Structures are given as structure tokens and as C-alpha cells.
Amino acid sequence: MRGLDGKVAVVTGGAQGIGRAVVDRLVHEGVAVTIADAHPEFGPSAAAEVTAAGGTAWHALTDVSDEEQVAAAVEGTVRRHGRVDFLVNCAAVFIMRGVNATVDEWRRSNDVNIMGQALCVKHVVPHMADRGGAIVNIASISGHIAQPDYVVYNAAKAAVANMTRCMALDLADRKIRVNAVNPGTVWNANNERFHRDVLGMTRENAEKDPEIGGRHMLKRVADPEEIAGPIAFLLSDDASFITGENLMIDGGYTAM
């Protein structure tokens, strides 16, 4: 894709799942990546694997709800590479609770899923402003639909969808594009564990289930790499006239 090779990206939550797939795709495209991730084991191992394969990556221990850690990750990126061109906000917590959610559950969800993305944007923008850049936030189809007992998570992702539009408007004059992707069900480690341990399902079972795979037009769930490709596109010069967009990557889920 045009305009990726030689650039520098910060990917939050980049040690696992969609975030790791984004890291691998961007490195494949010639991007140097900061893996800003709160996991003290998976973060360093992801960076080591990328480096061993010939890519450029380092791990910054980052809880995105902690502004000092966010600032340190961005500043460390600038010290190493002299710039930040891209931000991908993948870090998230999955608190699936309804109206009986506790105050602590609401705060943790909002601190990471909303404020965490906003803090990362706040700290990368000053390093993009002289030449522009591109930001992709991870929202979800859950921010656009109603689901039983998902109030906390869905409210946070709905906020990300509209926050993306507002950021795109505010940053357009600085030549910074801001978009969001909205995945359907993605078969990452968390989902695999949930379906196995809670629902007693394999991936094959889940894709055949009318309430899981059957909710998607394509009658299956996604691999993380299928989310990473569109994210790379939105960062690239091939998407140079796209901003303020919420791209559905949901196998047709929200069109049904």
C-alpha cells in the first residue's frame, strides 16, 4: 500500500489479537512499530518476535488509562525514530455487563476504551502536526446495535465511533485523518477462550450457531488479519481522502 514504507506507528494493545495482527501487517509494509501494551510478558515477546523476523519494533509498557505511561510511550517512539506518523488504538477491556454494572466496572471500561484512546491521540498529535498523519480507532459493531447485557461495552464503543468523527473534524486542518473500524466477531485468543470455557464451543460450532456465525452474512467469524488489512489501508495514502469514517468489517452483520 502506498505511503506506509519507512513510516512510524504506535499500536496500542499490539501484543495480542487484532493489535498483534496490525503490528505484523504494518511491519510487513515497512513500518517501524511501537507496541504500546500493558502486558509485561506478551509485549516484550511480541517485539522480540518481530525483531527476530527482521522487522523494527519495541515494546513500551503502557496502560492507556495512565497518561504518564501514554506520554512515555510516545516520547520513546520519537526518541528512537524522530517522528510518529500513525496511531492505531487497539487497547481495550471487555467488560460485558448490563444495567447492574458496578461503578468500578463503568470506570474501568470508560477509562481504557474511551479516555485511553483519547489520551493516545492527544499525545501523538503534536508530533504529527507539522506533516500530517493518520489515526485508526477500534470501535465495534457493538457500538451501533443493541445486545443483551452488553450496556457497558456497547456504550463505550458507541462513544469511540462518535469521538472519531469529532476528532476527524478537529484535526482535518492539521492534515491528520482519523477513522474507526468496527469489527464483527473476531476469533482471537479471548474469544476462543470464551467460546471454549463458557459456551463449550469450538470455532466450527460457533460459526454454525445462528446467534454467532449465523448473525453475519458470510456465516462465519473473522480472523484478526482480516481486520488488520483494512486498518493498514486506512493508514495508507490509498485512503488519503477518507476521514471521519466508521468502516464496518463485520461480514455483513450490521446490514442484515
Q: Return the active site residues.
A: 153
For cell 518481530, the residue is: 50
- What cell was used for 20? 498483534
- What cell was used for 253? 452483520
Residues 72 and 60: beta-carbon distance below 8 Å: yes
> 228: which residues sit within 8 A by CB, 6+ positions away?
18, 21, 22, 24, 25
Residues 234 and 221: beta-carbon distance below 8 Å: no
* Backbone phi, psi, residue 246, to 5°: -110, 100
- Regarding beta strands 57-61 and 86-89, do their DSSP bridges make them parallel or antiparallel, or are they unpaired? unpaired
